[in-house]
Structure formats: C-alpha cells, structure tokens
Amino acid sequence: MSSETLIEIKGLNFSYGERSILKGIDMTMLRGKVIAIMGGSGSGKTTLLRLIGGAVRPSSGYVKVAGKVVHELKRDELFQMRRKMSMLFQFGALFTDLSVFDNVAFQMREHTDLSESMIRDLVLMKLQAVGLRGAHDLMPAQLSGGMARRVALARSIALDPLLIMYDEPFTGLDPISLTVIGNLVRRLTDALGMTSIVVTHDVQESLKIVDYVYFIAGGVIVAHGTPAEVRGSVMPFVHQFVHGEEDGPVSFHYPAETYASDLKLEGGFA
Ligand SMILES: Nc1ncnc2c1ncn2[C@@H]1O[C@H](COP(=O)(O)OP(=O)(O)OP(=O)(O)O)[C@@H](O)[C@H]1O
C-alpha cells in the first residue's frame, strides 16, 4: 500500500494567458508520504496545487490522482475527488462565528449522514489527534495562531482525505508552534495513511519531516531528492535554499526593466 502511486504528473504545462508558468513538470507522489515543493516566490507552486485539485486546466500534459486524469473528470466526478482532498492555506480561515467543535464538525454535517452522536465522537477524535480536545468549546478569537492552525488541521482531516495540500503551513508561527505543526503533519500522514504535499519556504523545518523534496524554478523542476540528498547537494540553487542566501540562482528581483530605463534616465531627458 505505502509504495502505491497516488499522484502522477506528466509533461504538465500551464499558462496564464500568454504567460507560461509551468513548463513540462513530471512528478510521482506515493501514498503515505510527505512531499515538499519549494521554489522562489512566483515560481508556480500554488498553481501546481490548483492543477492537482482541478481548479485550473493544464495547457498540455496531465495530473492523475488515484489513477484518474483530473482534467478529464466530469463535474460530479471532480466533486467526488475533491472530497478526498483537503487544501489548507496559511491561516486556515476558520469560521469565526463557530466554535472549535462546530468548525471541525462543519463538513461532516454538510457532506455525510452521520448522526450527531457519531459526529461528536469523530470531532473529539480529530481534536484529540491535534492535542486540542480540551479546547472544543472555544471560539476562534480565543485561540493562539498555532492553536488555530491545529484546529484547521483537525478540520482538514474531518472526512479522512487521501491527500492534504498545505500552502505555507508554517508562515507566521513562532519556532515552537512551527515544530508542533511540522510534527503533526508527519504524524497525521502516518497515522491516517494519507499523502501530504507541503508548499513551503521553510526549508529547515520541512527537511525534518518530509520524505521527498521538489525544487521548482522558472517553471521546471530543477532538483529533487530525499532530505539527505538535499542537505548534501552542491547544486547552487539547492544550496541557496538550504542556506537561506538572499541572492543566487533565485533572484531577489522580479524581472524588470533596467532601473535606469524605469527612472527614465536612459536616452536623455525630454
Ligand atoms: N489568476 C492569475 N492570473 C494571472 N497570473 C497569475 C494568476 N495567479 C498567479 N499568477 C502568476 O503566476 C505565477 C505563479 O504564481 P503562484 O501563486 O503559483 O506562485 P508561487 O510559487 O505559489 O508563489 P509564492 O511562493 O510567492 O506564493 C506568478 O508570477 C503569478 O503572478
């Protein structure tokens, strides 16, 4: 089971209008694994998650999830597949007017016919898994940032997904909460036999918990490997990331006109 492929991506191309974002991406992600996707700002990481979730269509190539080509699914099939995927954004966006309990129960009530007593048991189980069973009566405003992130995590596993995609799960957390969230991602993936994809800039934290890393730059995969391979890599790009250097193959600057021409210093003054 654990060496089964959950996601297969082949020759994936994607453009926003004329602007090519992903250029021939190939990836294989196995069940039960935690995979990190790293790359500079604007390199197309979030776009890749949206392609996996079927929110946008590739220009060519495909994403297969559990053996099915996502962009070929009919509307109701896509809907069903999305139920098996969870997408967790930076701030988790809890419903502010619902308690912790009701936030986690929300999708169970929406999408299943489970009785309230069954839902209660399941919600408490999910909250127990993130260490917050005791906080079930609190409102989101009463939670710390790290706790809110854990409730969002409990909510994202409410329907026992096959896949969770985390977009920048570590952003804005203090070092302790960051380790807590990282360890939870690992433990939940193992305990529930899910696959987790983590888009992150936090190299050090993610190398501690992931099985495999892909680096994206300029719309292509420029490096990939296990955390040990990544740490030992002498590739300038990987080195820049692992050692947090500001400039290198990944440029600090968004492509721009020369400064001089932007400031109209070229070609004389009118
Ligand atoms: N709806 C859109 N229409 C046009 N261009 C878009 C749209 N969404 C994103 N882009 C562009 O596509 C590129 C890739 O964006 P994406 O959000 O996938 O990058 P990212 O790697 O997740 O970046 P970051 O790490 O900064 O979040 C960016 O240059 C962005 O400006």
Identify whether 238 is part of a domain: yes
Kindly report the average pLDDT of the chain as a whole number: 88
Is residue 161 within 6 Å of ligand 1 at its C-beta? no
Identify whether 132 is part of a domain: no
Neighbours of 142 (CB within 10 A): 12
Is residue 16 within 6 Å of ligand 1 at its C-beta? yes
Is residue 219 within 6 Å of ligand 1 at its C-beta? no
Is residue 21 within 6 Å of ligand 1 at its C-beta? yes
Q: Which atom of ligand 1 is nearest to the CA of 17?
A: 4
Percentage above 90 pLDDT, the chain: 62
Give the global pTM: 0.86
pLDDT digits 0-9 by tens, 106-159: 989 998 999 999 999 999 999 999 999 999 999 999 998 889 989 999 999 998
Identify whether 28 is part of a domain: yes
> What is the predicted ipTM?
0.94
Which residue, judged by its Cα, is nearest atom 29 of ligand 1?
Answer: 42
| Residue 19, Cβ density class (10 Å: 0-12 exposed, 13-18 middle, ≥19 buried) | exposed
The pLDDT of 44-67, averaged and rounded, is 95
Residue range of the domain that includes 51:
1-84+204-250
pLDDT digits 0-9 by tens, 186-201: 999 998 899 999 999 8
Q: What is the pLDDT of residue 2?
A: 47
Residue 57 pLDDT > 50? yes
* Alpha helices, DSSP H, located in the chain: 45-52, 75-83, 100-111, 116-129, 145-156, 175-192, 203-209, 227-231, 236-242, 259-262
Identify whether 227 is part of a domain: yes
Which residue, judged by its Cα, is nearest atom 16 of ligand 1?
Answer: 44
Q: What is the pLDDT of residue 21?
A: 95
Identify whether 52 is part of a domain: yes
Q: What is the pLDDT of residue 270?
A: 38
With the most atoms of ligand 1 within 8 angstroms of its CB, the residue from 16, 87, 167 to mutate is 16
Find the CATH number of the domain harbouring 39.
3.40.50.300
37: its two tokens? 């996707």
Identify whether 120 is part of a domain: no
Q: What is the pLDDT of residue 166?
A: 92
Total domains, the chain: 1
Identify whether 187 is part of a domain: no
Q: Which of 240, 257, 262 is nearest to 249 (CA)?
A: 240
How far away, in angstroms, is 241 Cα from ligand 1 center?
A: 19
Q: Which atom of ligand 1 is nearest to the CA of 49?
A: 18
Identify whether 269 is part of a domain: no
